[in-house]
Amino acid sequence: MYIAHKREDGQLQLLEEHLKQVAILAKSFAEGFGAGDYAYVLGLAHDIGKYSAAFQEYLLKDGMGGDHSTAGAKELYRLQMFPASLCAAGHHTGLPDGGGPGDPSGMPTWQGRLKKQVAPYQEYQREITLHAVSHPQELNGFRIAFFTRMLFSALVDADFLDTEAFMNPVQRGGYDGIPVLFERLKHYIDPWLRHQETGNPINQKRTEILRCCLEAGKRERGLKSLTVPTGGGKTVSSLAFALQHAVQYGLNRIIYVIPYTSIIEQTARVFRKIVGIENVLEHHANVNFDPRGDIDPAAERFRLSTENWDAPIIVTTNVQFFESLFSNKSSQCRKLHNLANSVVVFDEAQMIPLDYLMPCVRAIGELVQEYGVTAVLCTATQPSLEKLFPKGISIQEIYPHFRELYPFFRRTEFVNIGRLSVIELADRMARQKQVLAIVDTRKQATELYQSLPEEGRFHLSTLMPPMMRRWTLRAICRRLKQGLPCRVAATSLIEAGVDVDFPTVYRAEAGLDSIIQAAGRCNREGKRPLEESIVYIYQPEGRVPPRIQPNVSIYKNEIQPNFVDSASPEAIQAYFDALHMLKGDRLDKKKVVEAFEKGRDGGMLPFAKVSEEFHLIDEDTKAIFIPLGQRAERLAKQLRSGLCSRGWMRKAGRYMVHVYEPHFQELYRAHDIEMITDGLAILTNLRLYDLGTGLSLEADLGKAFFV
């Protein structure tokens, strides 16, 4: 009798039972992308190292089992099932780098692992029979790497689930099906459809877009775009497309990928209102699913769903989505197989970072071509990506008359006013009752705020932790609705999807996409005349931040001189075409595609190296916890006592500010912070936190660092 797991109460799980159950689950997960039989053999082989006498002795005597993954990798390699062999080798420690044939035994690469001597495990042949299964896809670098991760996902989720079912059974799933959610959507939108002819012109146009999305949902699968200006109702319309499409083709789930948590929270609220709070998983760093009290089944179910994305509607971030697709870690890859046969909507698609644009586009292309995904690039400023996709993939527009929408939903005028100092800008804003200025740096936002009249002034930047920003936004919205003075100095975090409506907006020179996003905060509801809703574009003092210099240059030198209306669809396309040409090989800053196509450092398939390097927010920042308020003080106390669990980090993230390394070190040298780990500290000098502007960028002693 060979054992896979031993429970605390002494109960034993047979190894044969575990292997066969994992194989069955892995097969069911991988059938979504045509690799069911292949995954079945992988499931049978992944733990055959546990057949060694040494492992069985360790297990029964409550010892440590050592390496039991290499044995399965060796057997699958013998069967020439190379992706499966990689998955077996890494199912506990993460997918290893492939390495090269010269790698010696003991190296952590796949080639090194295959040469490693392991305890005899041939007893597996008494209970398990392994047969070679051919690989279902064409073998080339990027594609085989992508397939390997998807296969790895099917294995590790199956392994986790079967182990969980034996060791600590929990209640998973229980969500409503996609057809049920579609019926709820139809009930929600029915009044709009029935009264389209009697609504105001804007609502009539929104309903027209909605009807078009429902019809488009019945058409073929593939890569789509939905180009709808701000105010066109694309949140509900895109959900209508996705649900109709999922019902039409029997797809499993809908995944919304969004750049900012502020948009995620708004979008998730809308979806919960339509399909029910119990069917929408919101997955990002600022959401917490730790159960309250002794039992909270809903929170626990959502927490479990963050592990493998088995919910019908998931709203997540660009960071979570793309970094998982290029990760080698089992915890991040576990959910990937559930992307197959789904609708994935990339909201604000133009916000995918340019430095990682090519690998992200290639990943979307793989999902569409090989994994049954219908992907939707959803934005008001379509980023002209078609030429970056592999041959054979074309983008189909869901609303074909999108160019006609621009003049209909146009609500602002752009006016270029040249250079302005902070004092000059503050003086202009002081003469207006409600006005927003969007600047390029946190330093500029702080200085402008301090120069504004005190009544009704607000500041928004990442110097304020998420919780404080949320409170500030609520206060801003209240004053706007009440017609009270409201003057806001903000960084670009307010641009994407934040639902505020100012009569006037000032925008420091930036790329055209940022300027158009800023314009979405002006006359958002269309209640004011066009000529009274001005977006003033000005040149701030000092140099343009290096990160946006190319964007500003294209706008000033190629868009402004050549287009009467720089917000027109033609201008937007010209802007993105020029930007992609200008960046050149910087569309893949870390050379991720090349690493999988040609190898790196003499080795093939560098899963671990790429996983370590692939970070969409590629900034050397450290976190400072701001202990303001009773709840934050309790969290700080827990942190000092050594509690730094994933659940704690989710809660504490709402009270954290991220700063660059030089500023962090200056605060530390001035004894303004208490170091907890190398990348995390607690603010101890609370004089450095201002309720209006957030964390000061100047330590009590030492030099100031502004970013």
Cα distances (Å, whole numbers) of residue 39 to 16, 21, 49, 225, 656: 17, 12, 18, 33, 42
Indicate whether 334 and 246 sit together in one domain: yes
132 and 47 share a domain?
yes
Q: Give domain status of residue 674, yes or no.
A: yes
Among residues 116, 134, 167, the one where a domain terminates is 167
Query: Within a domain: residue 371?
Result: yes
440 and 396 within one domain: no
Does one domain contain both 17 and 150?
Answer: yes
Structure tokens at 547: 């990160």
Same domain? 20 vs 55: yes
Q: What CATH code is carried by the domain that includes residue 287?
A: 3.40.50.300
Boundary (domain end) residue, out of 548, 566, 597: 548
Beta strands in 350-411 (DSSP E): 374-379, 395-397
**What is the Cα–Cα distance from 147 to 149, expressed in whole angstroms?**
5
Using CA atoms, how far apart are residues 697 and 707, in angstroms rounded to an integer? 9
Task: Write phi, then psi, for 177 (nearest 5 degrees).
Answer: -75, 165
User: What was the pLDDT predicted at 610?
Assistant: 97
The pLDDT value given to residue 291: 43
- Establish if 556 belongs to a structural domain: no
Residues 196, 339: one domain? yes
pLDDT given for residue 618 in this prediction: 64
Question: What distance lies between CA 521 and its chain's CA centroid?
Answer: 23
pTM of the model: 0.88
Q: Residue 152 falls within a domain, yes or no?
A: yes
Q: How far apart are CA 118 and CA 627, in angstroms?
A: 51
Question: Of 221, 224, 197, 219, nearest to 208 (Cα)?
Answer: 197
DSSP 331-366: HHHTTGGGGTTSEEEEETGGGS-GGGHHHHHHHHHH
Beta-strand pair 434-438/504-508: parallel
On whether residue 599 sits in a domain, the answer given is: no
At 106 the pLDDT is: 82
CATH of residue 48: 1.10.3210
Q: Is residue 142 part of a domain?
A: yes
Residue 415, pLDDT score: 94
Which pLDDT score is estimated for 640?
85
400, 444: one domain: no
Place of tokens 């396309």: 573
What is the C-alpha to C-alpha distance for residues 439 and 425, in angstroms, rounded to an integer?
Answer: 11
Q: Distance (Å, rounded) from C-alpha 48 to C-alpha 91?
A: 13
In a domain, 584, yes or no: no
Count up the domains in the chain and report the number. 4
- 146 and 183 housed in the same domain: no
Q: Are residues 17 and 135 in the same domain?
A: yes
Range of the domain at 679: 621-695
Full DSSP string of 635-672? HHHHHHTT---HHHHHHHGGGEEEEEHHHHHHHHHTT-
Domain co-membership, 218 together with 308: yes
State the Cα–Cα distance between residues 670 and 664, nearest whole angstrom. 10
Cα distances (angstroms) measured from residue 32 to each of 341, 653, 686: 7, 36, 53
In angstroms, what CA-CA distances link 607 with 80, 114, 135, 235, 334?
20, 16, 19, 35, 15
Q: Are residues 140 and 209 in the same domain?
A: no
Choose the final residue of a domain: 167, 195, 218: 167
For Cα atoms 236, 239, 244, give the angle at the middle one, nearest 5 degrees.
125
Residues forming a β-bridge with 704: 698
E strand intervals along 432-556? 434-438, 457-460, 486-490, 504-508, 534-540
Q: Are residues 94 and 150 in the same domain?
A: yes
What's the one-letter identity of residue 336? L
pLDDT at residue number 472? 94
State the pLDDT at residue 61: 76
For position 706, what pLDDT does the model report? 34
Mean pLDDT by 10 residues, the chain (707 residues): 88 95 98 96 97 87 75 96 96 95 92 94 95 79 95 97 90 89 97 82 91 97 92 92 98 93 82 93 66 53 84 93 96 96 93 91 96 94 83 92 88 93 96 96 93 96 90 94 96 80 95 90 87 94 86 92 90 89 80 94 93 83 89 87 68 86 89 87 93 81 37
